[in-house]
Structure 1
Amino acid sequence: MDMLVLIGRILFALLFLGSGFGHLAQRKTMVQYAQFKGVPMADLAVPASGVLLLAGGLSVLLGVWADLGTLLLFAFLLPTALVMHPFWKETDAEAKQTEMVHFNKDIALAGAALMLFAFFAHTGGDLGLTLTGPLFSL
């Protein structure tokens, strides 16, 4: 089971690590997009969210307080779904469908992050192949 959890952690974390790196490496483009979407203080929000993604992704990947890492990812995903992908505001059918797909993806990943939080916090130190145990206990 330890190996399956490790593989799952790797696959889950890769998405967030790539996105976090993109937030920092392509900051100017990401800030422009965030401003277009109406994100307040986009010039600060983009790099801050990149750091949040990298911290959460690395935490899950390495198993260093992975429960906290999943909460960081949840803290990114839920507001991102609501602010960046408000499909209900779109009038064009194609744009509405695209935003709905992204909204649903973010909501599903937020749900997965919460489940992983509960998994890590409940399992405690019994889960192998992590560098630390959880920060929280359920």
Structure 2
Amino acid sequence: MNWRRVSRVDNVDAYVHRMLVHKLVDEKRLSWAKVRLLGSMPEPRRPPVPPDEELVERDSVVSALAHLPRGQRTVLVLRFLCDLSLADTAAAMGCSEGNVKSQTARALVAVRQVLGVSEMSGRSTR
């Protein structure tokens, strides 16, 4: 963290949040970030569950997100997973609110196409 830069910003929380988002994106790009080095295997929290509809649906959403460009994927994660407002998302991404709106609209259309979901029904068309 650059403390001189932090001391000059108006909103330290937004600066730190944006820094963490960038760090997460950087780590996800690196293959070594997927490796966890532990002294021993952790205890399973609960017994394995056979795949059900929720897991299949989750996997299909994750797969659909993987097809999106970085900006569209980031905006969907910040808006819907992190539950940030339009203004907070724009600040975290360092862009305008209009850009967030257009990226969100394009990303939702692309995800619906990949999943085969119509906008009005919310149900699969496959």
Larger Rg: 2
Superposition TM-score, scaled by structure 1 size: 0.34
Taking structure 2 as the reference length, what is the TM-score of the superposition? 0.36
